[in-house]
Structures are given as structure tokens and as C-alpha cells.
Structure 1
Amino acid sequence: MPTCEVCGRKTSKLFRVIIEGAELSVCMECSRLGTPVKPKLRRRGVVKTGYVRPTPVPRPLRPSKPKKAVRSIEETVEAYTLVENYGFIVKEARERMGMTLKDLGAKVGEKASVISKVEQGKLKPDNALAKKLEHVLRIRLLIPSSEVEDKGLKTSVKPSGGLTIGDVLRMRLTKPRE
């Protein structure tokens, strides 16, 4: 004899009901606690088989595009040098355009404190920030390193890295001793 899944009584007839989202087999008295489940209609004579996966349709092969030659990073990224008086240039351009620090920061996507530190010369802007400032303020902050060397304004520090031991030795050898 089957038992009720709610109260545990043995009964001759069970009912399928949904109680709090669970489908249970319960006795006549416990069936009032939930909503009855409608019996599913079964088709006779039709045998269900397992799921048959459709056969994939082969796609025609596309000719591959010729791959572009990969350039080295050094060739694609040109080294830039920041101008010496960048803080003064940024401040003058901002004041000329009638912007506050907050306005310029909003246009560039930086905090006003960052813009203030750049203007004071306490913070060197990276290339991305410098390019944004150049665009918004219509000024030049970054000069390609090739232009700096062409004009004879050679810098003692390479733009790609810091001061190397070789640089120190060259400075010592070229500097006359006192």
C-alpha cells in the first residue's frame, strides 16, 4: 500500500499535487494543502525515441586572408618626449579656454587633483593623458624623439628606459675633469 509523502499515512489512492513548488503524491486529506496537477495526456501507439542530433551541414571552405606582417613593437610605437615646461603650458591653455580644473578633468576623464598636480609639475602625465590634454586644450606636449634628436636637443636619458650604466660612462668620459 502506498504512503502519503506529507503525513506518512498508508492509503489506497494517492493524488499528485504541487505544494510550495514541489510535486508530491499525497492522500485525500493532504491534497487540500496544494493545487492538483493535471494529468498529462499520453498518445497511444507512438513510441518516443531518444533525441536524434541533426547532421551538421558542411560549410564551404573560405580562402584564408593573407596575414599581415607582424611589426616589432618598437617600430609601431613611436617614442615621445614630454616638453620641459608642460605644467605651465597646460595651465595657460586651460585658463585661456576659461575652464576650471574640474571642467578639464571631466573632459579628459581624470580627477581635478590629477590635473592640478600636472599643472604644478609634481606629476608627469603618461602618453595617454598627455594626448588627451593635447586634444582638449589644442596644445603640443609630446614631441617625437626623432624630432628632439634632429634639432640637436639630445637628452641624456633615453625615452624608452632610464639611465643606464653605459650612459653614465659616456657622461664621465665626455665631461672634462677639473
Structure 2
Amino acid sequence: MFDDMDELATDYDDLVRNARESKGLSQSDLANELNEKASLIRKIERGDTLPSDRVQSKLESHLGIDLNAEGGSAEDSEWSGGSASGSYTLGDVVKRKD
């Protein structure tokens, strides 16, 4: 069931914010044009919530962006964390968002 789902880009929040700002739109303006709530746009841009497939599609078409992750990034393919025993700690797998 989940094999056909596209993965959302890890920086989806920045992509949406940058595209909106480059078009000179406020969060409220974008929300009105998409017929969504401004609070939803704020939450997406803060990374507090993931856009639904419907909202993602609206954002992509209106802002001219692609929010899907492109497979694995170079950062993911170069990762070699973990110990020789094969056990991992939380620090091996967590990416901090500072």
C-alpha cells in the first residue's frame, strides 16, 4: 500500500516559504489563493505539519515547486553510522533541525 507513495522532501518547509516569498505573497495571500487556512500555511512553513496530498499538489502547482524527495540524497548514501555490532543509538539516526 505504501510502496507507491512519494516521500516528501526533508526541507519542504523551506521550499514552500522560499517559493511563496519569491512570488511576493504573504502567508494569508497564499492561503486565500489555495482556498486553505492561513494557519495551515504557517504550520507547513514551520515544519509543524505535513501537507496532505491534496494540499501538496496545490502548493506544487501554484508555486511551481516539487516537494517530493529525489530518492536518497548524497548525504544519506554516504552515512556510515552505527557500531560494528550492528546496533544503533538514537544519535546514529536522528537529524537535528536547529
Fold match (TM-score > 0.5): yes
**DSSP 3-state at the match of 2:7:** strand
Structure 1 equivalent of residue 16 of structure 2: 90
Give CA deviations for 1:120-140 in whole Å, capped at 9, x if unaligned. Answer: 111111221111101111011
* 2:50 paired residue among 118, 124, 138: 124
Structure 2 unaligned regions, length at least 5:
78-84, 90-98
Q: CA deviation at 1:175?
A: 2.7
Structure 2 equivalent of residue 175 of structure 1: 87
Give CA deviations for 1:105-153 in whole Å, capped at 9, x if unaligned. Answer: 112221111101110111111221111101111011124xxx516x794
Q: Which has the larger radius of gyration?
A: 1
Structure 2 equivalent of residue 106 of structure 1: 32
Asked if structure 2 preserves the Cα contact closer than 8 Å seen for 1:80 and 1:142, the reply is yes
Structure 1 equivalent of residue 71 of structure 2: 148
Q: Distance in 2 between matches of 1:174 and 1:128?
A: 40
Identity %: 31
| Greater strand proportion | 1
Q: CA 1:84/1:112 → structure 2, altered by over 3 Å: closer, same or farther?
A: same
Alignment size in residue pairs: 82
Give CA deviations for 1:71-125 in whole Å, capped at 9, x if unaligned. Answer: xxx4xx8311111111111111000001111111112221111101110111111
Give CA deviations for 1:39-58 in whole Å, capped at 9, x if unaligned. Answer: xxxxxxxxxxxxxxxxxxxx
Q: CA 1:152/1:84 → structure 2, altered by over 3 Å: closer, same or farther?
A: closer
Q: CA RMSD in A?
A: 2.8
| Greater helix proportion | 2
Q: Distance in 2 between matches of 1:105 and 1:132?
A: 10
Over 2 Å off, 4+ runs = 151-154, 173-177
Structure 1 unaligned regions, length at least 5:
1-73, 155-172
**DSSP 3-state at the match of 1:107:** helix
Structure 2 equivalent of residue 51 of structure 1: none
